Structure 1
Amino acid sequence: MEREVNAYKCRKCGTLHYPFRMVCKNCRANDYFEFDIEPLPKRGKLLTFTFIHNLPAQFEVARLGLGIVELENGIRVTGQVDIEDPTLGMDVVGNVEVVRHDTYDDRYGFVFRAA
């Protein structure tokens, strides 16, 4: 099952927000019903990244890549980077996937791969 993440578009000025905000950062509209839901695009550009090599024991990988991606609509999100040799500015595609298994449930987050 593919999961979808939404941005919130202010009905007064059109500014996109992610994550949700009760008050528009542009025009200060502050009514929950003044926002439309808009799915986040899956494609974007990798702005920056880092690798963590010394992870706690509960992680199942030797290294963990994290990065900031600017999506096609201008929203920036943080997520895992599952690319062997990433480069700044490269095109990536993201999905929402399980990023960690806990005792009682799974944790979901963005995972980006080369486009």
Structure 2
Amino acid sequence: MERDILGYKCRKCGHVQYPYRTRCRGCGHVEWNGVDIVYDTVPLPKNGKLLTFTHLYALPSDFEAVNISLGIVELEGGNRITGQLKIKDPKIGMKVFGKVEVVRREEYKKYWGMVFYAEGA
């Protein structure tokens, strides 16, 4: 089963934002439903451009990997998201595509996150 990262669509202006915010960044609108703020959820695109990245070598001892790479990707539509990179030689500006995958396991728990691959890989 393929999973999606969900963005939050303003019911007033249609602006899609990620992550969740209490006020629309497009028009400043806040819609209240009792005590909860209500947005429509929409799947975000999974293709984008790598804006920046870093390599992490000092991970906690319970990580399966010795090191990981993280990147900030601008998705089609303009939203930016941080995710793990499964790219041997990342380059700023390269086209990438993402998948929602398990990024860490801890005994019986699974932690899901965005993982990006080089486009065409």
Mapped partners of 1:111, 1:25: distance in 2: 26
Shift of 1:3: 0.8
Runs of 4+ more than 6 Å apart: none
Q: Where does the alignment leave 5 or more consecutive residues of structure 2 unmatched?
A: 32-36
% identity of equivalent residues: 53
Pick one of 33, 38, 41 that aligns with 1:37.
Answer: 41
Shift of 1:28: 2.2
Partner of 2:83: 79
Residue aligned with 2:51, SS: strand
Q: Tell me which amino acid in the other structure corresponds to 1:3.
A: R
Q: CA RMSD in A?
A: 1.3
TM-score (norm 1): 0.90
Task: Answer yes or no: is 1:13 the counterpart of 2:7.
Answer: no
Q: Where does the alignment leave 5 or more consecutive residues of structure 1 unmatched?
A: none
Partner of 1:48: 52
Residue aligned with 2:3, SS: coil
Partner of 1:2: 2
